[in-house]
């Protein structure tokens, strides 16, 4: 049978035979690959160390949405998008497997779908079936009614995967009459890919044609009414079925395309099932609205503890910047320990609500997106992490069981919109939720579920558990990649920018200067420095009352410390009251009630407690993250103690020698000066008794009385006990102090 016969539409279609042969080859390959996996202990695709790709064994893949109707410049936009994908694949994945291009035909309006322009649809079909895409596996994903000339690009794809309720056909319903030119074009495109037999394709176009399916040895063949007798002469025909009656254009549901005729390779209800059929991670099938249009990126930084005020500002600013710059690429850089599940979920819901067909959202986590901050990262279309970064696990807030129950429903909605596992998202904030790795027994494809989500799968019986993913302490970059949460690993923002072909110096949408000042002052190093200076100045003021400047400086430092802590979310009025009460108690101990030290000790403990509580969000650490924050709290207390000690040393060793200090404070006296003052302040002088002899009138124990002539004087022995009536002599006299020795 020659080519002319094919173009004449005379040759029967042996699609069933070809499909059976391909099925046999596929089964053999599947057996070999399965045997290799069993014998070599093969693992699922894991993250690559190369930041240019997340899964080393996953082929390059792209998804392009085909907007219906195909009119205006739609075909040129789609072609430009595909050409940009091809350029990326050549640049980044030249040594990888055959690329996959998915064209998603999403028909929502039957009337609009049928009004596609013939020239535009033909231009797109010829591009899809041309030499430029010869090395690309093209797949038409049908979702909704595809009618009119929109059928042409579907026929130009190598493979069809359809929603069970989608419909394909009625290609000629917008044409007043069907001529040989239209028939020739449809025949040409159908023969290029051979996804649907030519007679069936012509039956979709021309209502005057009747199409038959003939059962022959080894399968089925399709023929027009005037070709049936010719097929019977050449083949042994066991059954003849009319599948397109006269006066009707052929139209098939997705279920018919797959189950009845075998024109579709898979039935897929959503992108998750499409990803499973293609054996890729679901995130790989999120369309890129920047293709063919250039990226207009904006960057938003989510840093520090999550708070309501910060999230409100970020959400409002992000909405304004998207509208002002007409942005189509949002880069969310996250370095946060979490802190407020409700506010994190609010920003995550906003990011998930952005139309992925117009705006692409990508999260980059260089260090941490702990606890509820992980929800923000996973609400984006794609996630990129550094290998050292931590996603999920314990963070700045403890989420109670009641909160988890309230959060689960919105998390499920976000996960569904982003084609993610909802239980894997929940595990980022719920360390008690066990996540297992499941392998699909038929597709040899891996996904991660909790037991509840596994039970919710339509084909739950085909998923077999093969291990547990440790999520209790969060996921490092390589584990997140293995779980299919990331699309790439990048150590720095420059690496991230290079991966997406962005400028490395993107201007970030951040909170205003006040928020940045708060973040700066709340850093443990800066907070410790404020307390060091504050205590140093306060102690200096107490040692030199009346100067004033040190006291003012101390007040400013303490105010800045507690102001930044309150606005940063780690302190409240309780910490402030404890600190003030502690200072008051210490002053009472020093100036009002010196004695046992109850006020001094209690005040000191209150001050230490206030500083520790103001530096953390918990009272006693109970998880790894909280234990990791304890050194920061101890740093604050140590800085306070160092400030006190430094002030004492400075005042003692340095400050007392400066001229300025001598003018505002009394000079420290040496021993000679102190002795002279003691002598001058003495009321009685006994220098005249030096060397004289006398008799003790009382025992000297060692102090007592002695008589020298007619004069009785209080004396002190030189160390020994002297009885009454003993002879003594005066050996030393210091003012009114007389020292004697026995003779």
Q: For residue 601, what are its two tokens?
A: 């000790």
Q: What is the pLDDT of residues 698-707, one digit of tens each?
A: 988 888 899 9
Q: Are residues 548 and 600 in the same domain?
A: yes
Higher pLDDT, 40 or 354: 354
Q: Are residues 315 and 446 in the same domain?
A: yes
User: Which of 509, 533, 562 is the endpoint of a domain?
Assistant: 509
Q: What is the pLDDT of residues 224-261, one digit of tens each?
A: 998 988 888 888 888 999 999 988 999 999 999 999 99
What pLDDT score was predicted for residue 35? Answer: 31
The pLDDT of residue 504 is above 70:
no
- Nearest alpha carbon to residue 239 among 259, 216, 218, 221: 216
Q: Are residues 458 and 414 in the same domain?
A: yes
Q: Percent of the chain at pLDDT above 90? A: 24
Judge residue 164's burial from the number of C-beta atoms within 10 Å of its C-beta, 0-12 exposed, 13-18 middle, 19 or more buried. Answer: middle
Average pLDDT over residues 441-455: 82
Report if residue 674 sits inside a domain.
no
Q: Are residues 304 and 175 in the same domain?
A: no
Q: What is the pLDDT of residues 372-419, one digit of tens each?
A: 999 999 999 889 999 999 999 888 777 777 778 878 888 988 988 888
The pLDDT of residue 437 is above 80:
yes
* Calpha distance 684→715 (Å, rounded): 13
Q: Are residues 348 and 417 in the same domain?
A: yes
Q: Are residues 574 and 698 in the same domain?
A: no
* Calpha distance 251→145 (Å, rounded): 10
- Nearest alpha carbon to residue 74 among 292, 295, 358: 292
Domain containing residue 732: CATH number:
2.40.50.140
- Which range is least confidently modeled, 48-62, 287-301, 505-519? 48-62
Q: Are residues 205 and 131 in the same domain?
A: yes
Q: What is the dihedral of CA 31, 37, 43, 49, to 10 degrees?
A: -90
DSSP strand E in 111-171: where? 137-143, 145-146, 159-162, 167-169
Q: What are the DSSP calls for 7-46, one per residue?
A: HHT-SPB-HHHHHHHHHHHHHHHHHHHHHHHHHHTPPPP-
DSSP 586: H
Q: For residue 675, what are its two tokens?
A: 């002795």
Torsional sign, CA 167, 172, 175, 177: negative
Mean pLDDT for all residues in the chain: 78
Q: Are residues 446 and 545 in the same domain?
A: no
What pLDDT score was predicted for residue 36? Answer: 33
Q: Are residues 176 and 105 in the same domain?
A: yes
Q: Are residues 350 and 396 in the same domain?
A: yes
pLDDT bin (cut points 50, 70, 90) of residue 548 is: confident
Q: Are residues 202 and 151 in the same domain?
A: yes
What pLDDT score was predicted for residue 594? Answer: 63
The pLDDT of residue 4 is above 50:
no
How many structural domains comprise the chain?
4
The pLDDT of residue 462 is above 90:
no
CA angle 500, 506, 508 (to 5 degrees): 120
Report if residue 219 sits inside a domain.
no
Domain containing residue 138: CATH number:
3.90.226.10
User: Which of 446, 480, 509 is the endpoint of a domain?
Assistant: 509
- CB-CB contact of 125 with 105 (8 Å): no
User: Which of 460, 490, 509 is the endpoint of a domain?
Assistant: 509
In Å, how far are 242, 286, 517 from 355, measured between CA atoms? 44, 11, 34
Report if residue 290 sits inside a domain.
no
What pLDDT score was predicted for residue 32? Answer: 31
Q: Are residues 622 and 566 in the same domain?
A: yes
Torsional sign, CA 516, 519, 522, 526: negative
Q: Which domain holds residue 614?
A: 513-657
Report if residue 28 sits inside a domain.
no
Q: What are the DSSP calls for 239-291, one per residue?
A: EEEEEE-TT---EEEHHIIIIIS--SSEE-SSHHHHHHHHTS-GGGGS--TTT
What pLDDT score was predicted for residue 651? Answer: 58
The pLDDT of residue 41 is above 70:
no
Average pLDDT over residues 183-187: 93
Q: Phi-psi region for residue 595, left (φ > 0), alpha (ψ -120 to 50) or beta?
A: left
Judge residue 405's burial from the number of C-beta atoms within 10 Å of its C-beta, 0-12 exposed, 13-18 middle, 19 or more buried. Answer: exposed
Q: Which of 118-122, 270-274, 401-405 has the highest mean pLDDT?
A: 118-122
* Calpha distance 230→117 (Å, rounded): 36
- CB-CB contact of 396 with 337 (8 Å): yes
Three-state DSSP state, 129: coil
Report if residue 264 sits inside a domain.
yes
Report if residue 17 sits inside a domain.
no
* Calpha distance 568→561 (Å, rounded): 11
Report if residue 555 sits inside a domain.
yes
- CB-CB contact of 568 with 522 (8 Å): yes
Report if residue 24 sits inside a domain.
no
């Amino acid at each position: 049978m020659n080519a002319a016969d094919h173009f004449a539409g005379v040759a029967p279609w042996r699609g069933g035979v070809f499909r059976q042969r391909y099925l046999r080859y596929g089964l053999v390959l599947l057996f070999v690959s399965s045997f290799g996996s069993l014998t070599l202990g093969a693992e699922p695709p894991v993250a690559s160390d190369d930041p240019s790709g997340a899964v080393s064994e996953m082929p390059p893949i792209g998804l392009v949405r085909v907007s219906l109707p195909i009119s205006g410049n739609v075909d040129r936009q789609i072609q430009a998008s595909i050409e940009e994908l091809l350029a990326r694949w050549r640049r980044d994945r030249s040594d990888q497997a055959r690329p996959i291009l998915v064209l998603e035909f999403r028909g929502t309006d039957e009337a609009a779908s049928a009004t596609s322009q013939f020239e535009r649809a033909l231009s797109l079909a010829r591009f899809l079936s041309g030499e430029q895409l010869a090395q690309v596996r093209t797949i038409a994903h049908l979702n909704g009614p595809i009618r009119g000339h929109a059928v042409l690009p579907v026929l130009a794809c190598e493979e069809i995967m359809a929603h069970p309720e989608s419909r394909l056909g009625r290609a000629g319903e917008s044409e007043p009459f069907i001529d040989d030119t239209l028939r020739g074009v449809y025949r040409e495109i159908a023969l290029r890919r051979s996804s649907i037999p030519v007679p069936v394709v012509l039956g979709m176009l021309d209502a005057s044609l009747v199409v038959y399916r003939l059962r022959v040895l080894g399968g089925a063949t399709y023929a027009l009414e005037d070709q049936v007798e010719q097929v019977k002469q050449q083949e042994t025909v066991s059954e003849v079925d009319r599948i397109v009656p006269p006066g009707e254009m052929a139209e098939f549901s997705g279920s018919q395309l797959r189950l009845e005729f075998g024109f579709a390779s898979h039935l897929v209800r959503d992108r998750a099932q499409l990803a499973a059929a293609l054996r890729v991670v679901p995130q790989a099938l999120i369309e890129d609205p920047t293709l063919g249009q250039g990226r207009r990126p904006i960057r938003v930084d989510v840093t520090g503890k999550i708070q309501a005020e910060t999230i409100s500002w970020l959400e409002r600013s992000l909405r304004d910047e998207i509208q002002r710059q007409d942005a189509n690429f949002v880069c969310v850089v996250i370095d946060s320990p979490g802190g407020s599940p409700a506010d994190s979920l609010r920003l995550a819901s906003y990011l998930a609500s952005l139309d992925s067909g117009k705006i692409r959202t990508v999260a980059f986590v260089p260090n941490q997106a702990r606890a509820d901050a992980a929800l923000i990262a996973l609400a984006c279309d794609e996630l990129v992490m550094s290998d050292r970064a931590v996603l999920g696990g314990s963070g700045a807030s403890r989420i109670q069981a009641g909160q988890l129950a309230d959060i689960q429903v919105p998390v499920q909605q976000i996960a569904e919109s982003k084609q993610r596992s909802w239980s894997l998202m929940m595990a980022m904030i719920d360390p008690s939720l066990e996540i297992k790795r499941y392998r699909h027994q038929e597709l040899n494809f891996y996904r991660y579920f909790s037991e509840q989500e596994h039970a919710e799968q339509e084909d739950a019986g085909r998923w077999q558990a093969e291990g547990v993913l440790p999520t209790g302490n969060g996921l490092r970059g390589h584990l997140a990649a293995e779980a299919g949460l990331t699309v790439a690993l990048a150590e720095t923002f420059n690496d991230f920018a290079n991966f997406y072909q962005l400028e490395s110096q993107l201007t970030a949408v951040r909170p205003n200067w006040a928020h940045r000042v708060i973040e700066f002052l709340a850093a443990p190093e800066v907070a410790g420095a404020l307390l060091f200076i504050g205590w140093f100045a306060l102690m200096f003021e107490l040692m030199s009352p009346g100067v004033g400047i040190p006291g003012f400086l101390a007040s400013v430092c303490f105010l800045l410390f507690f102001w930044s802590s309150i606005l940063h979310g780690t302190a409240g009025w309780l910490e402030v009251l404890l600190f003030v009460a502690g200072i008051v108690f210490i002053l009472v101990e020093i100036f009002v009630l010196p004695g046992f030290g109850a006020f001094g000790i209690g005040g000191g403990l209150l001050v230490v407690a206030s500083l520790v509580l103001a530096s953390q969000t918990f009272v006693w650490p109970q998880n790894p993250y909280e234990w990791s924050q304890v050194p920061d709290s101890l740093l604050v207390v140590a800085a306070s103690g160092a400030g006190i000690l430094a002030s004492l040393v400075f005042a003692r060793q340095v400050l007392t020698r400066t001229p300025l200090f001598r003018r505002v404070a009394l000079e420290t006296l040496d021993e000679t000066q102190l002795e002279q003052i003691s002598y001058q302040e003495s009321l009685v002088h006994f220098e005249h008794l030096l060397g004289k002899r006398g008799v003790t009138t009382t025992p000297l124990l060692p102090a007592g009385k002695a008589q020298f002539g007619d004069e009785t004087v209080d004396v002190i022995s030189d160390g020994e006990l002297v009885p009454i009536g003993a002879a003594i002599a005066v050996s030393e006299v210091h003012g009114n102090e007389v020292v004697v020795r026995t003779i």
